[in-house]
Amino acid sequence: MIENHPLVSVIIPVYNGDRYLAEALKSVVQQTYQPIEIIVVDDGSTDNSANIALSYKEVRYIYQSNQGVAVARNVGISQSRGEFIALLDQDDRWTPNKLSIQIKYLLEHENIGYTLAKMRVFLEPGTEKPSWLKAEYLSEDIPGYILGLLVARKSIFEKVGNLNPNYKFGNDSDWFFRANDVGIPMVILPETLLYKRVHGANESHKIQSMTADMLKLVRSSIQRKRAHNISKHQ
- For 31-35, 116-120, 129-133, which range has the lowest pLDDT when averaged over its residues? 129-133
Q: Is residue 146 in a domain?
A: yes
- Indicate the number of domains in the chain: 1
In this predicted structure, the answer to whether residue 133 has a pLDDT above a threshold of 70 is: no
Asked whether residue 74 carries a pLDDT value surpassing 70, the answer given is yes
74 lies in some domain: yes
pLDDT at residue 1 above 50?
Answer: no
| pLDDT, mean of residues 82-97 | 97
Confirm whether 63 is domain-assigned. Answer: yes
pLDDT at 213 over 70: no
Instruction: Give residue 31's domain range.
Output: 8-232
Mean pLDDT for the stretch of residues 183-209: 79
CATH number at residue 127: 3.90.550.10
What DSSP line would sit under 46-97, residue for residue? Answer: -SSHHHHHHT-TTEEEEEE-S--HHHHHHHHHHH---SEEEE--TT-EE-TT
Residue 2, domain member (yes or no): no
* 33-45: average pLDDT: 98
Is 3 a domain residue? no
In a domain, 47, yes or no: yes
Confidence at residue 122, expressed as pLDDT on a 0 to 100 scale: 84
In 3D space, the residue among 18, 19, 63, 12 whose CA is nearest the CA of residue 39 turns out to be 12
- Residue that wins the pLDDT comparison between 206 and 174: 174
| Three-state DSSP class for residue 195 | strand
Nearest alpha carbon to residue 41 among 67, 7, 8, 6: 67
Lowest mean pLDDT among 25-34, 69-78, 88-97, 211-220: 211-220
Give the Cα separation of 94 and 11 in Å (integer): 13
pLDDT of residue 61: 98
Residue 142 forms part of a structural domain: yes
Mean pLDDT of 21-27: 98
> Considering the entire predicted model, what is its pTM?
0.84
Any domain includes 1: no
pLDDT at 151: 98
Q: How confident is the model at residue 4 (pLDDT cuts 50, 70, 90)?
A: confident
